[in-house]
Structure 1
Amino acid sequence: MLTSPSIDPPPSAETRDADAALEVELIAEMTPLIADLAVEGNGAVALGGSRAKGRSDARSDYDFRVYADGFEQDRRNSMSWNRFDAAMAGWEARGFRTDGVWPRVYANVQRDLSAWLAGSGTLKTFEWTIWGYHLPTDIFHQQIISDPRGTLAGWKEQLATYPDAMRDALVSQNMEILRYWATDYHYASKVARRDLVFLVGLTGKLANTILQVVFAHNRTYFPGDGWNLAMAEELPRLPPDFLARMTAFLEPDRDPGGWERQRMQVIEIISDLEVLTAE
């Protein structure tokens, strides 16, 4: 017997206020500990993820970043790392999950950001990113907590206007992928054979590629792995009935013709993107 999924009731105003106060306390306590992870000092601290994007809920964790010229390599025997780990464990015991902290070297981030601004950025692959890590998204959305050099603010300023070179490169690269699959006979043959593993994988790839085009065309930084459709709905320039059509092809019918209908839906969306991006 199927049961409906449980839905958490919305928190009361008192609970929200209490959580907000604890969040302020958490950030105040963790910030100097995170900044202290920098070997040469001048550590900058930021908060990323869904909280930085304003999309967090009760299940969201805290994604901290720390920027510096260098960090201790022997984390296990580092007093500063041990202090951070102890504080993080204490907050987790109180129900506030911190997803560690991501140490980032200033020079490396600047190098990668310059490449993105020039339209030659390269996606980095991490296990926790299904479709790769998008540096401009992270830098643009992150909440700056401590920035002694002003470097993080400078990066944000560079991204305040969506770079033309990056937009053109992302639209061109991803439209090339979509054009290939719109006409490729392998797609049609896999549908006829009902090769489900292939089709499920391709569905995710095509959905991500379509969204890359849509966000770049709208000069809006791609969200990353979360909230893609919800954020796409807020964009001004979309193919007709975009959200409904994307949802339909992501949830194909289970009857024998469902995958073929999905393929045709994808081809129609790609055709509409050709018109949209030519404007």
Structure 2
Amino acid sequence: MTRPEEIAASLLPMLRTWVAGEYGIAIGGSYAKGSGDSLSDVDIYLFANEVLPAARRDEAVVAELGVEARPESWGADDPFVQGGTDFWHVGQRVECWLRSTREVDRTLRACVGGEVGREYVVWTVMGFLSYTALADVHSMMVVDDPHGVLARWKAAVATYPEALRQNILDRFMPEAAFWPENFHYRTAVQRGDVIYTSAIVQQVLQALIQVVFALNRSYFPGEKRLAHAMEKLSVQPSGFARRVQELLMPPSVDVAGLETQRRGVADLVAEMRALAFDTPGSGASG
């Protein structure tokens, strides 16, 4: 298996032809976060304000790597905010994600200032949380940064922003606490309405996950392989990652099983709420 750094280095001459003006190139995704394995693709981030149209990027991949690379590009060319070109190289899947430098600048400033944005898109369970951009920048491995763009961003997110932490706690702790004793959740349990109860459980647990990362002043790394990331957090309810995974499936899909699940969710919410209020400097207000 070829190392991601070697793959990125070999692709640099081609990737540089895709951009005009200031740019930065980095390795992101699971390898940058230390959780890559044999099933992981190689994520390459390319930041610029001007990029080649998708069709020309596909042509460049074929010209450089051959038709067996099977390039697939996505996203809008104009106005350019984000897009990508995915292909195969030395037997590995490479996903090259292109993002507007201007847009990343705006997002980082907003999130460092405390903005908690969420956009509902099809490829993410919780919706796209704007502040995951801070995690991407914090963890990414810089490959080519001739204009110092990536170094400037990394400096901006080196310390977890307290305003962001406070707003995550204020938003997601009440969301999680809304459901456990809710009348409609209780009656759904009594009816055995698994479709409804499972959606509630997922919503509560995903909100608690946002809370636990904020409590630890640790950037939420995205939805994949969360158990691995959560096990490293020092401030959390006992066995948090294990309990989250167990609660996603009730012990049975009858009333008794759904009630056991509801009580487990309620206990976890109560423990997290206590941590949010009792942890020094938590500042939780709801």
**Which TM-score band applies after superposition, normalised by the shorter structure?**
0.7 to 0.9
Change (3 A) 1:127 1:143: farther
**Equivalent of 2:54 in 75, 82, 99:** 75
Question: Taking structure 2 as the reference length, what is the TM-score of the superposition?
Answer: 0.82
State the Cα deviation string for residues 107-151 of structure 1 (Å, max 9, x = none): 111111111111113134443322233211211112211111111
Instruction: Provide structure 2 residue ranges, at least 5 long, that are not aligned to the other structure.
Output: 70-86, 279-286
Moved over 6 A (4+): none
Distance 2:88 2:49 in 1: 29
| 1:107-256 alignment runs, 5 A limit | 107-133=102-128, 134-254=132-252, 256=254
- The residue that corresponds to 2:9 in the other structure is 28
Question: When you count helix as a share of all residues, which structure comes out higher?
Answer: 1
Change (3 A) 1:104 1:255: closer
Change (3 A) 1:126 1:71: farther
Superposed displacement of residue 171, structure 1? 0.8
Superposed displacement of residue 202, structure 1? 2.1
State the Cα deviation string for residues 163-191 of structure 1 (Å, max 9, x = none): 00000000110011012112321111111
Distance 2:42 2:63 in 1: 16
Aligned residues of 1:37 and 1:81 also touching (Cα < 8 A)? no
Superposed displacement of residue 56, structure 1? 0.8
Change (3 A) 1:239 1:82: same
Count matched residues: 255
Change (3 A) 1:220 1:25: closer
Distance 2:165 2:195 in 1: 32
- 241-250 or 221-230: which moved more? 241-250
Distance 1:245 1:266 in 2: 9
Superposed displacement of residue 53, structure 1? 0.7
Superposed displacement of residue 81, structure 1? 4.6
Change (3 A) 1:160 1:186: same
- The residue that corresponds to 1:273 in the other structure is 272
Amino acid at match of 1:69: N
Amino acid at match of 1:172: D
Does residue 57 (structure 1) correspond to residue 73 (structure 2)? The answer is no
State the Cα deviation string for residues 244-268 of structure 1 (Å, max 9, x = none): 3223212321152111111111111
- 151-160 or 25-34: which moved more? 25-34
Question: When you count strand as a share of all residues, which structure comes out higher?
Answer: 2
Instruction: Provide structure 1 residue ranges, at least 5 long, that are not aligned to the other structure.
Output: 1-18
Question: Taking structure 1 as the reference length, what is the TM-score of the superposition?
Answer: 0.84
